[in-house]
Amino acid sequence: MEKLLNITVGEMLETTAAKYPTNLAIKYIEVNYKRTYYQFNAEVDEYARGLLGMGIKAGDHVAVWATNYPEWIILFFATAKIGAVLVTVNTNYKEAELEYLLSNSDSKALFICDGIKDIDCEKIIYSVCPELKNCKPGELNNEKLPFLKYVVSFDNWYEGMFHWSQVPHFGVLISDEEFQKVKDAVKPDDVVNMQYTSGTTGFPKGVMLTHNNIVNNGLAIGDCMKFTEKDKLCIPVPFFHCFGMVLAIMASVTHGTAMVPLLWYTPMKVMHAIEYEKCTAVHGVPTMYIRMLEHRDFHRYDFSSLRTGIMAGSPCPIKVMQDVIEKMNMKEITITYGQTEASPACTMTTTDETLEHRVATVGKELPFMETKIVDAETGEDVPNGTPGEFVVRGYNVMKGYYKMPEATAAAIDKDGWLHTGDIAVKDDDGYYKITGRLKDMIIRGGENIFPKEIEDFIYTHPDVVDVQIVAVPSENLGEEAYAFVTKRPGSSVTPKDIQNYVKNNMARHKVPSYVEFIDKMPMTASGKIQKFVLRDMAKKTLGIENNNFVFKDNK
């Protein structure tokens, strides 16, 4: 990455389409959708013009609530071209959460699919907006959601909604000159996307990301993987999250790389797509890779085409990284660290770094940004090798939280540093290791315990598939470590075995006081482990929901 680009998302697509017009841009294996970059750009223009004809203008907020449909990615680039802001909705949201997001984001339009797992999108939107069934499409009038006027269905035809196929027809109302004028008015520093953070406390906050944020971050990410127009990326991670939108879509479009998205993740679909399409890269959170590696048919698939990809989204266990390199042929796999507020990547390993650096660190800071470690209490810089809070400053920092100036000021200090809330250590060579969240750190009898360190070690146990450690209160020691472990099917390993495994290899204070076996870790739709759910489960098991009970460990 020689310099920062100063172009919009729409201009980036047009540049790539002009450079690689006949190259494959997108191909789905589950639905009949395949486009070259020229075809895809032309289709995006068709829908962008249609949105203008419908009444969507620059600055309007357009929400999308769907899995990884082809329509989703078209809508992303179409809204970007006309200066509208795409508001991405978590596919796990239900009625109250959807209503909050639509209200808080001031969304003018909502695009939906029929259903997501146990969620009936059509039923929920009619419940939130009962007036929708009796209004003309585009004329919704709901007192609680005064901005919302349009609901558009990707799938079936419904009362009060437009259908996706109707959108391009509105384009006849927009002249060539007007369309070009609208596109030309979009600036790189304009907000292009709002993503709602899935925080563990309080209401979600709308992170405002600009064209410059995600174009340049996507370029830097693709460079670290050495992406070219000859690569083909399998995308099982959701589009609504930065992992899908920036680390996958924007990293591909900035390099002319082909995309093979999946409507949603299952291990079998990912493995099939990799072999059938001869993908050279695949992205995923650690749990996604674990489920493939543990799948009964894993050995039947050919991974020889794979070269690289990203493991990110939650802390990456060293053992899982090593297995992916050895068993999936991903010899150039990378790790990215960041957060939505940083659009999202701050550090990343590259394909040509040592195996040790690629499995044991999250790499160095990306070009054209500043990163450092500070004392979380004083804000002062700390020496290399000392744990502290990771902070970042540069082009990638969000514009702010929508309509939340106080929360924005709390996250970004007066000097422009974004405070991530993550605990990290920087070595003398500039490599970072993430050791946990400030709020995840366990203080046991005055000793600081970083869950990730213990999790990484427990992962090396032959009977362990997954592990997460959380803090539970203790009257005697302040806090104790509680380990949730997913063991291999048929394993006879006991909680005591796990504790002894740690005890024989690590300091005594790092031995989890409690070990509970669990079939599946609670996760967000973007693949992040919900540690707050695990904490609640642990407290309930121990009978200390209100922290009023004394308990002893089970060593």
Q: Domain of 480: which CATH number?
A: 3.30.300.30
pLDDT at site 439 = 73
pLDDT at site 446 = 64
User: How many structural domains compose the chain?
Assistant: 2
Answer whether residue 20 shows pLDDT above 60.
yes
Of 196, 213, 229, the position where a domain reaches its end is 196
Q: How many C-alpha atoms does 317 have within 13 Å on its Cβ side?
A: 24
User: What average pLDDT does range 521-541 have in this prediction?
Assistant: 86
Of 196, 215, 236, the position where a domain reaches its end is 196
Q: What is the mean pLDDT of the chain?
A: 92
Domain CATH number, residue 130: 3.40.50.12780
Residue 508 lies in a domain: yes
Residue 423 lies in a domain: no
Answer whether residue 200 shows pLDDT above 50.
no
| Coil, strand or helix at 41 | helix
Residue 40 lies in a domain: yes
Q: How sure is the predictor about 202, in pLDDT bands with cuts at 50, 70 and 90?
A: low
User: What average pLDDT does range 293-306 have in this prediction?
Assistant: 97
Distance CA 17, CA 42 (A): 9
Residue 24 lies in a domain: no
Residue 18 lies in a domain: no
Answer whether residue 12 shows pLDDT above 50.
yes
The answer to whether the CB of 212 falls within 8 A of the CB of 4 is yes
Residue 364 lies in a domain: no
Of 163, 196, 229, the position where a domain reaches its end is 196
Residues 418-471 pLDDT 10s: 999 988 999 999 999 988 777 777 878 667 787 888 898 899 999 999 999 999
pLDDT at site 553 = 32
Residues 70-94 pLDDT 10s: 999 999 999 999 999 999 998 888 8
Write the secondary structure of 102-128 as one string of H (helix), E (strand) and C (coil): HHHHCCCEEEECCEECCEEHHHHHHHH
Among 42-46, 251-255, 506-510, the range scoring the smallest mean pLDDT is 506-510
Residue range of the domain that includes 501: 442-542
Peptide bond into 317 cis (omega under 30): no
- Rounded to two decimals, the pTM is 0.84
Residue 450 lies in a domain: yes
Residue 81 lies in a domain: yes
